[in-house]
Chains A and B, each alone.
Chain A
Amino acid sequence: MSPLIQFRNIAKVYGTGNTEVRALWDVNMTIDSGEYCSIMGPSGSGKSTAMNMIGCLDQPTAGEYFFDGQNVAKLAEDELAHIRNRKIGFVFQQFHLLPHLTALENVEQPMMYAGVSSSQRQKRAIAALEQVGLGNRVNNRPNQLSGGQQQRVAIARAIVNNPLLILADEPTGALDTQTTQDVINIFSELNKSGITVVMVTHEPEVARLTNRIIWFRDGEVLNHHLAPEELASVTAMPV
C-alpha cells in the first residue's frame, strides 16, 4: 500500500503570546491508500483542524504535508482547488447542501467545477444518488428530505467526481441510530470499492466499524494505530 496522506511534524498554531492555541502540535501520521479509519479524541483536540489540513482547505503553520505524493505547501490556490475537486470528497456534520437546489443539482455542483458537460453531469449525478439509495428523490430540495437523506445526498456529492479520498467530519453527529447505520454502511461500501475513507466521530460504535482508529489529544496524536477492539482501553483513558 502506498501512503496517500503523510503528516511530518505538522503544527497549526492560532494566535500568538497569551492567546496562542496549538490546534495541532508535532503531528506525524500516515494513512495509506484504501484505508478505512476514524479519528477520535475529546472536543478541541484538533480533529477538525487535522481534517481541514488533510482536505487541503488549510495550510500548516509548520511541518510538511504530502498528499498523493505532492507537497501541498508548494501548491497554488488553483491547484489546491483542483485537488479538492478531483481527489477529495467532503462530508460534513451539517450536510451543507445548497437549499435552493434539488438533490440532483446539489450532486452536480462538483462536476460543474470539473467542466463536465450537462448531460454527463446529470447521468453521473443520478448514478451517484442511486448508489446511496436515493434514486427516487432526485428532484427534492433539501428541506423536503430527512436528515439521513440529506447526508446521503452529501455523500453522493462527495463521490460523484470519483475521488481517492472521502473526508467525513462527524458525518453522523446529527443523525439518529438507524440513519447512522445506513450512512456508515455506505462508507463501508465505498471503502470496499477502493476509496480511502477518513472519518471523525465521537461514537465508539461507529469507530469500531472502521479498521483503524487515530486518537488525538491536545493537538497531538496519542496513538495512531489503535485497533477497533482496543477502543475500550482508550475511552477509559483520562481525556
Chain B
Amino acid sequence: MNFAESLKMATKTLSANKLRSGLTMLGIIIGNASVIAMVGIGEGAQKYVNGQLQDLGPNVLFVVPGNREARQLGDLDIPRTLVLADAKAIATQVPSVAAVAAEKSTQGIVNYRNRNTSTSITGTTQGFLNVRNFEVAQGRFLDDLDERSNRLVAVIGSTLAERLFDNESPLGKQVRIKGITFEIIGVLEKKGSSLGLDYDDSVMIPITTLTSRLVGRTSPYGIEVGFISISAVSQEAMETAEFQITNLLRLRHRITAGDDFYIQSQDTLLDIANTVTGALTLMLAAIASISLFVGGIGIMNIMLVSVRERTQEIGLRKAIGASPKDILSQFLIEAVILSALGGLIGTAFGAGGIFLIAAISPFEAGVSVSAVVVAVGVSGSIGLFFGVVPARQAAKLDPIVALRSA
C-alpha cells in the first residue's frame, strides 16, 4: 500500500472516532502550546533586554566598583575605593574618552507643597548629559560650579515633573528632597526606562551635594560613586579607552594584584544578559517539554487501547493480505497524524498565547519559525516514538487469535 493511501486510510479511521482522537491530541496540543509559548516568552525577554542594552549607546563603558570574579561569585562586600576623583582623573588624563559622568543614587521622598512622592535621587556630574545621551527640555543641567559648591539645585525628570507640578513650570520652584530644600534648575527630556533605571522618574542633584547633605561620606578615599559611565571618542577607541582607564585606575588605587573595579561595555553586558535569558529560555522549554512528553505517553496509551480494541480488524486485515509491515505502518501513521496535527494546533494556541502576553507586557511578540518547525517536528517524532510500541504489538498479533476474539 502506498503512503498516500495509508494516509487517507488513517485519516478515515481517526475521524471515525473524533472525540477520542481529539482527546488524544489534547496532550500534545497542550505540550506544544506550552513549548511555543515558553520559548516565545524566553525569546521575548531576550529581545527586551537586548533592546534596553542597545539604548545605552554603542560607545559607553561603565566602571563598576568591586572585583569582577568576586562579584560573580556573589561577594557583596564591595570596596569603597571608586571615587569622584577617579572620574575626574579619567576625564582629564585619558585621551580616548569623550565624556565622563559619575553617579550615585539613593531613594527618598521628594515633596513640593503638599505633594510628595518616593523616588530615586541621583547624584551626578555635568558629563551625564553627554554620556547618557539626554537632552534638557527646560532650564539647564547641573554644571561644574554646582558641583564644586555643593549647591542645592536639582534637575528633574519629565515623569516626576508631571507628578509633582502638573502643568506648572517646575523651573525655579523649591522642592524638598529628604527634607532639604532644593531649587529646580532644569527638566530633562523624556527618554523611557533602560535596564530598570528610569531617569524620567527621578531627580538629579550634584553628586557632591548628595554626599555632603543626603547620604554622608561613606568612603575614606573621597566621594564614593556607584559607577562611572564613560563615552569613548568612537567605537574603535573603546578598547584603547578600556585599557587606558584600567591602567590609570590601577595606578591611582595602587593595585598590584586583583583589581578593585571592573569595566563593562555594552557588549559584555549583552553577553551576560544573553547567557541569563538563554538559560531562562532553555529552562522554560525544558519544563514545557515535559508536558509534550506526557502528551506522547497519552498517545501511546490510547494507541495501545486502540490496538486491543481493534484486534478483530487487525486479524481481518491480515487475513485479506496485510503484511506485518502494512499493519505496523498503519498504526504508526495514525500515531504520527495525531501528534503532528496536535502539534500544529498546539503551535497555533501557543502563538496566540504569545501575542496575548505581548499585548499585556513590555515583551515583543515573537513566534520564531525555528521554534515552530522544531515543535511540530518534535511532536511528530514523539508520535513516531510512542507509536512504535503499540504498532509493533499490532503487527505481531496472531491473526487467528485476533479473528477469534469476537
Contact = CB atoms under 8 A, between A and B. Distances in A.
A55 interface: yes
B12 A78 contact: no
Nearest to A161: B321
Interface in A141-192: 157, 161
A57 B320 contact: no
Contacts, number: 64
Contacts of B403: 57, 92, 96
A113 B320 contact: yes
A74 interface: no
A128 to B, nearest CB: 13
A113 B400 contact: no
A112 B399 contact: no
Interface in B1-58: 1-2, 5, 9, 12-13, 16
Q: Size range of the interface on B? A: 20 to 34
A38 interface: no
A21 interface: no
B319 interface: yes
B73 interface: no
A57 B403 CA distance: 10
A212 B43 CA distance: 79
Interface string A101-123: 10000000110111100100000
B38 to A, nearest CB: 38
Interface stretch (B143-151, B323-331, B374-382): B323-331
Contacts of A8: none
B80 to A, nearest CB: 80
Given A57-B399, A112-B9, A113-B1, A96 B324 contact: no
Nearest to B315: A96
Interface string A80-96: 01101110001010101
Nearest to A95: B316
Contacts of A92: 403
A196 to B, nearest CB: 17
A79 to B, nearest CB: 9
B321 A113 contact: yes
B317 interface: yes
A227 B174 CA distance: 127
A218 interface: no
Given A52-B400, A96-B403, A100-B16, A85 B313 contact: no
A77 interface: yes
Contacts of B318: 57, 81, 84
Contacts of A157: 320
B136 interface: no
B285 to A, nearest CB: 39
Contacts of B406: 94
B322 A96 contact: no
A109 B324 contact: no
A98 interface: yes
A18 B325 CA distance: 37
A158 to B, nearest CB: 8
A85 B316 CA distance: 11
B1 to A, nearest CB: 5
Contact of A78 (B1, B315, B320, B323): B323
B240 interface: no
With a 10 A CB-CB cut-off, give which of B16, B318, B321, B399 has the most chain A CB atoms.
Answer: B321
B35 to A, nearest CB: 33
A58 B5 CA distance: 28
A90 to B, nearest CB: 5
Contact of B317 (A55, A82, A86, A109): A109
A81 B323 contact: yes
Contacts of B324: 77-78, 81
B321 A115 contact: no
A95 to B, nearest CB: 10
B120 interface: no
Interface in B324-370: 324-326
A81 B318 CA distance: 7
Nearest to B395: A77
B393 to A, nearest CB: 16
A96 B316 contact: yes
A199 to B, nearest CB: 16
A100 B309 CA distance: 14
Nearest to A80: B323
Given A52-B400, A96-B315, 9 more contacts: A57-B400, A78-B325, A81-B321, A84-B321, A86-B321, A96-B403, A100-B16, A113-B317, A113-B321
24 contacts: A57-B319, A57-B399, A78-B325, A81-B321, A82-B323, A84-B320, A84-B321, A85-B320, A85-B322, A86-B321, A90-B319, A96-B315, A96-B316, A98-B313, A98-B316, A100-B12, A100-B13, A110-B320, A110-B321, A113-B320, A113-B322, A113-B323, A113-B326, A115-B1
Please give me the 4 A-B residue pairs with the lowest Cβ-Cβ distance, nearest first: A85-B321, A100-B16, A81-B323, A113-B321
Interface of A: 52, 55, 57-58, 77-78, 81-82, 84-86, 90, 92, 94, 96, 98, 100-101, 109-110, 112-115, 118, 157, 161
